[in-house]
């Protein structure tokens, strides 16, 4: 098993105890990705990966804590303050942080959530990192 596969396995194991933020940041960097290189098209694809993970849990009936959870269409980008934010909507809230990319190189995940509420965001993010890395290596990814 290569280093990325081992790291991915550790991230999915640790997601319930909130140490997955640091591991997911590390995974992003280990994939050779940089925040300043992310395109809007890639961010839209990240929303798709997260939605897929959310829908899987909702359909299976596993994810009962927040019904109707889905990624918000808006992407907030503020060069002056140095961030890009993806937002999420739920049955009782609108536009909470899903994933925030900061120009200092850090990435934040669901400040509002803990434990199992974070799983679809972390998993979707990791699968998205793999998608970008694989497609960049093939010369197929926008960016």
Give the global pTM: 0.84
CA distance 89 to 18: 21
Residues 76-131: pLDDT tens digits? 999 899 999 999 998 888 899 999 999 999 999 988 877 777 888 999 999 999 99
Q: Nearest Cα to 36, choosing from 73, 76, 82, 75?
A: 82
Residues 9-62: pLDDT tens digits? 888 777 666 567 888 999 999 999 999 999 999 999 999 999 998 888 777 666
């Amino acid at each position: 098993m290569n280093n990325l596969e081992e790291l991915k396995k550790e991230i999915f194991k640790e997601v319930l105890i909130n140490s997955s933020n640091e591991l997911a940041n590390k995974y992003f960097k280990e994939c050779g990705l940089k925040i300043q290189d992310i395109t809007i098209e890639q961010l839209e694809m990240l929303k798709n990966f997260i939605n897929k993970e959310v829908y899987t849990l909702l359909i299976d009936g596993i994810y009962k804590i927040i019904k109707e959870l889905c990624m918000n269409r808006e992407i907030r980008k503020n060069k002056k303050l140095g961030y890009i934010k993806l937002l999420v909507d739920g049955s009782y809230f609108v536009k909470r942080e899903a994933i925030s990319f900061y120009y200092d190189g850090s990435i934040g995940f669901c400040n509002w959530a803990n434990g199992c509420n974070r799983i679809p965001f972390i998993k979707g993010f990791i699968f998205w990192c793999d998608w970008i890395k694989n497609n960049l290596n093939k010369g197929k990814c926008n960016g």
